[in-house]
Amino acid sequence: MTMLQIFAVAIITAMMVAFIWGRLRYDLIACLALLASIAAGTVSYENAFSGFSDDIVIIVGSALLVSSAVQRSGVMEVAINRYLPNLTGVRAQLVVLVGIVTVLSAIVKNIGALAIMMPIAFQFARRSGVSPSVFLMPMAFGSLLGGLMTLVGTSPNIIVSRMREELGGQPFAMFDFTPVGATLALTGLVFLTGFYWLVPQRSRETASLHDAIDIKNYISEGRVVAESTVLGKTIADLLRLGDGGATVTSVIRAGGLRIAPLPDAVLRENDIVLLEGDPDALDKVTSGGKLLMSGGRVVKGANPRVEIGAVEAVIGENSFLVGLTAERLNLHDRFDVNLLAISRRGQRITERLREVVFRPGDVIVLQGVRNRLPEVLVQLGSLPLAERQIKLGSVRNWLTPVAVLGAAMALTALSILPVAIAFFAAAVLMVLFKAVPIRQVYSAIDGPILVMLAALIPVSDSLRSTGVTAIAAEWLAGVAMTLPDWGALALIMVAAMAVTPFLNNAATVLVMAPIAAGFATTLGYRPEAFLMAVAIGAGSDFLTPIGHQSNTLVMGPGGYRFSDYPRLGLPLSVLVVLVGVPMLQFVWPLH
């Protein structure tokens, strides 16, 4: 080996050790590896930042933004509560999530299937009281398994189909991959839903300042109107929308009559429902039930081009709000804001919002024109809390994000647009139509993940550019000739699995497929099974977060460490080999 080849292998090895060690954040490790590669000469100056323009960076960032828009729309909460209202068991939830992602990935790009189901995973996690990390990695792996089932499921399948044609045969048809791929997908589904506990429950690495502030439940209120979906239904039906995170403290009817909030009490038009719970649960109840919020009056300064938002604030000791009520202050007319909710430490509030006497330390949620809210808080003598997404009382347009995502997936499934272009356009449209507020765009796309990807692409490519992959290919061909037919087939599959984290899966097929077909012919075997083995190995990247964009997509939201992936991925990889090799020999005989 030349010095450049030795340097390339050493840098990759050191980088992998640092990832597993976990003492430095993954994006910093990737940047250090890039600098080391530049210094060693394995990455040229011209290619040093080529990763920032690579499609995978665009795809992952765009998919994260699109997923965030779908999650904010609330459409997933509606779907869950309509079709799966009582599904709380973790294993049952996993079967639904992984199963749907796996099936969808057979007909649309796996990252698109994963993006549309991620918001449901977060809802299930809240409902069952577990970390989203329990669901996200199995879903990512399920999306990879689903891609093995059809020609269009993943790019390696398309490439090996073309390779077979170049060898003088017929290209693989759409469902030639299905017998082996469906068997592997079903086996993987059983494994992922049975052994999900192999991955420790993780949370995101950083917490916001708000997370460190101990805020008890808010109280809010909503009016049942003619358009409400809970009109004529019971309080139990209403609370089911909040996944158990909200309660009804009272119901006020015409004339001020209060009725006990019994679960079987039927809601009538113009009933005022007093609610208590965390903001997310209150948001689900009010938006899912289409209740008119207490702040339902139109903000005077609002127009379609002005962004309406909400802010949490603490009432200060010297605030002139102290000792007054929202009704007495005439808060809406004087300050053009709506009072949406209030929280008071150590005390349950039973009055209507407009009747609550403000005290120092109360936490309130105000809605108004976003760029005016800071000035209003100063006038009210209140201090804003650390910013977080407050959706309470916001107007939902679920049709836009769903339509945009559906169009993106259709365009990619029909090969009208490349995945990167389709999802980038979808992300831009989500921002344009305000499905995601422009202020939250850069937090949604998870910068550290994108920086890690962009830095690692040229580092990984140094294995190919310095000739390391060619040397490995020659060695592999020599070893395979000494093995029995099943051993040679397994070796090819395992080699493709080992290579694909450092090359993208398409590049893995381009490197491995000619080698596999070449020595299959040399040994007197038919090449189809070996080409299929390469496609399966390249599409089964379960060992790292960097080889496939689906794995990368869930790394940040799941709070995963680099070393978490092989804990679930290694036994799954072994299972794919054990099941895949005999299935290939059965479906695609070697002689």
Do residues 144 and 501 lie in contact, with contact meaning Cβ atoms separated by under 8 Å?
no
**Encoded amino acid at 436, one letter:** V
Note the pLDDT tens digit of each residue in 53-88: 887 788 778 877 887 787 667 666 666 667 776 777
Q: What are the CA-CA distances from residue 543 to residues 535, 563, 572 (Å)?
A: 16, 9, 9
Predicted confidence at residue 396, as pLDDT, reads 56
How would residue 302 be classed by pLDDT, with cut points 50, 70 and 90?
Answer: very low
Predicted confidence at residue 165, as pLDDT, reads 77
Residue 440 CA to residue 65 CA, distance in Å, equals: 9
Last residue of one domain, picked from the residues 384, 414, 444: 384
Q: What is the CATH number of the domain that holds 341?
A: 3.30.70.1450
Predicted confidence at residue 275, as pLDDT, reads 87
**Encoded amino acid at 537, one letter:** G
336 in the same domain as 288: no
Average pLDDT value for residue range 474-503: 81
Mean pLDDT (the chain) is 81
**Torsion, Cα of 316, 318, 320, 323 (10° steps):** 80
378 in the same domain as 275: no
Note the pLDDT tens digit of each residue in 490-510: 998 998 888 787 666 766 776
In a domain, 149, yes or no: no
In a domain, 98, yes or no: no
Which residue range forms the structural domain that includes residue 467? Answer: 463-587
Last residue of one domain, picked from the residues 336, 362, 384: 384
In a domain, 501, yes or no: yes
In a domain, 318, yes or no: yes
Residue 121 CA to residue 83 CA, distance in Å, equals: 15
Note the pLDDT tens digit of each residue in 104-143: 888 666 777 787 788 788 878 877 888 888 999 999 999 9
**Torsion, Cα of 552, 558, 562, 568 (10° steps):** -100
**Torsion, Cα of 188, 190, 195, 197 (10° steps):** 100
325 in the same domain as 220: no
581 in the same domain as 503: yes
Residue 362 CA to residue 380 CA, distance in Å, equals: 13
369 in the same domain as 281: no
Residue entry with tokens 């749907």: 100
Average pLDDT value for residue range 448-471: 79
In a domain, 494, yes or no: yes
**Torsion, Cα of 173, 177, 178, 180 (10° steps):** 150
Cβ neighbours of 318 (radius 10 Å): 8
Predicted confidence at residue 95, as pLDDT, reads 92
Note the pLDDT tens digit of each residue in 4-15: 989 988 998 888
In a domain, 230, yes or no: yes
316 in the same domain as 284: no
Phi, psi values for residue 269, rounded to 5°: -65, 140
571 in the same domain as 474: yes
- Please report, rounded to a whole number, the percentage of residues in the chain having pLDDT higher than 90: 19
Q: Does the pLDDT value for residue 226 go beyond 60?
A: yes
250 in the same domain as 315: no
pTM of the predicted model over 0.85: no
Please give the residue that has the higher pLDDT: either 522 or 229. 229
Please give the residue that has the higher pLDDT: either 523 or 229. 229
Cβ neighbours of 86 (radius 10 Å): 9
In a domain, 247, yes or no: yes
327 in the same domain as 286: no
Do residues 489 and 581 lie in contact, with contact meaning Cβ atoms separated by under 8 Å?
yes
Q: Does the pLDDT value for residue 416 go beyond 80?
A: yes
Q: Does the pLDDT value for residue 103 go beyond 70?
A: yes
Average pLDDT value for residue range 551-556: 83
Q: Does the pLDDT value for residue 365 go beyond 60?
A: yes
Q: Does the pLDDT value for residue 206 go beyond 70?
A: no
Q: Does the pLDDT value for residue 300 go beyond 60?
A: no
Q: Where are the beta strands (DSSP E) in 170-240?
A: 218-223
Q: Does the pLDDT value for residue 516 go beyond 80?
A: no
Predicted confidence at residue 211, as pLDDT, reads 41
Q: Does the pLDDT value for residue 589 go beyond 50?
A: yes
- The residues with which 275 forms a beta bridge, in sequence order, are 220, 248
Average pLDDT value for residue range 573-585: 95
Note the pLDDT tens digit of each residue in 233-267: 999 888 888 777 788 888 998 878 888 888 899 99
How would residue 473 be classed by pLDDT, with cut points 50, 70 and 90?
Answer: low
Note the pLDDT tens digit of each residue in 161-191: 877 877 777 888 778 899 999 999 999 999 9
Please count the structural domains in the chain: 3
Residue 68 CA to residue 118 CA, distance in Å, equals: 9
583 in the same domain as 468: yes
Predicted confidence at residue 145, as pLDDT, reads 94
571 in the same domain as 498: yes
In a domain, 144, yes or no: no
Average pLDDT value for residue range 543-555: 82
Maximum alpha-carbon separation in the chain: 91
Average pLDDT value for residue range 341-369: 81
User: By CB neighbour count within 10 A (0-12 exposed, 13-18 middle, 19+ buried), where does 345 fall?
Assistant: exposed
Last residue of one domain, picked from the residues 293, 326, 350: 293
The tokens for 433 are: 């139509």
Q: State CA 501 to chain mean position distance.
A: 20
317 in the same domain as 251: no
